[in-house]
Amino acid sequence: MKLYNVAIAGATGAVGEEMRAVLEQRNFPVGNLKLLASARSAGKRFSYKGAEIAVEELTKDSFKDVDIALFSAGGSISREFAPAAVEAGAIVVDNSSAFRMDPDVPLIVPEVNPEDIKKHKGIIANPNCTTTIMLVALKPLYDYSRVKRIVVSTYQSASGAGAKGMDELLNQAKAFAAGQPINVEFFAYQLLFNLIPHIDVFQDNGYTKEEMKMVNETRKIMGDAEIQVSPTCVRVSAIRAHSEAINVETEKKITPEKARELFAAAPGLQVIDDPANKQYPMPLFASGQDDCFVGRIREDLSCENGLNFWVVGDQIRKGAALNAVQIAEELVKAEVGLRKSPLIG
């Protein structure tokens, strides 16, 4: 069995820790695992398959003999260190926004466009979490009948803002329960018992950067520059897993019955759609799960070829860590650009 040396850059963050867990859970063929983070995190120890691994400081010399480098440390870190990893012979799977719209960097959701992995020149980008969750559900519909237009409203949990966002929401809940003042430091407003229609910075067109990611990334991944996307992204007080209310207009009609059939046959997607018995996807049940879940499937009453549905997915797993590891799995399967002589176990 071939084994591959893997590095995780940003190994102590919420997504980095999840990447380590996913590698172990999916029994990825790891020869040597290197955990990389900032100097202040160096020396921390984490368990992997019964062994303790010490975190090393991330430097440009960290990637000697690394075959696959999973990056989850932010755009500025990726821009600084990813080229060094490629220069050292590694293939980078980057979770930040740094390279997503670079025409030379494939943007991959393995259930949607795995064939584009072959186009890589050393770096492969992971899409934004909201885009990934939406496209896992959109792909089977698009393959049946081209999707012309998408109107999507997202309900994004605190986990989308990382460990600090989750900690702030939990601390606000504890303070409320104890009758203490609720502190607001990380989010613009109190998130507990609230929602905030503002994720990332506003652009000149009135949309946020988060919303424009959904527009631009969807077109790139689907290979369809004409697809129309109208997004609204909202932060809600769920702790983990994002939800999306999606309306699509297709070239030919897709009935709810046909949509359920298409969804049920699609990889990475489970149908929970029995509203009469109060069965529908929710963050409470999607947290920690690999698949995305789709329900509330119904005809759009205002549009002849319109369809409404509701999708929930774990932002840390499928929206980030799992998608990155799945990309690595596709690389191993095809050996696209990997070293010619990986370690043999």
- Element containing residue 231 per DSSP (H, E): strand 228-236
Backbone conformation region of residue 76, classed left if phi is above 0, alpha if psi is from -120 to 50, else beta: alpha
Q: Give the number of other CB atoms < 10 A from CB of residue 241.
A: 30
233 catalytic? Reply is: no
Catalytic annotation, pick one of 120, 233, 242, 292: 242
Q: Report how far residue 39's alpha carbon sits from residue 105's, in angstroms, rounded to the nearest whole number.
A: 29
CA atoms within 13 A on the CB side of 335: 7
Catalytic annotation, pick one of 129, 198, 292, 303: 129
Amino acid at 87: E
C-alpha 196: how far from chain center: 21
Question: How big is the CA angle at 12 (ends 7 and 14), to the nearest 5 degrees?
Answer: 110
Q: Report how far residue 196's alpha carbon sits from residue 232's, in angstroms, rounded to the nearest whole number.
A: 11
Q: Which residue has the tokens 């025409």?
A: 103
DSSP string covering 72-103: -S-HHHHHHHHHHHHHTTPEEEE-SSSSTT-T
**What are residue 343's phi and psi, to 5 degrees?**
-60, 145
Q: Which two tokens stand for residue 335?
A: 């050996």
Q: Which two tokens stand for residue 2?
A: 């071939």
Confirm if 122 and 146 have CB atoms less than 8 A apart: no
242 catalytic? Reply is: yes
Q: Give the number of other CB atoms < 10 A from CB of residue 247.
A: 17
Confirm if 210 and 199 have CB atoms less than 8 A apart: yes
- Annotated catalytic residues are 129, 242
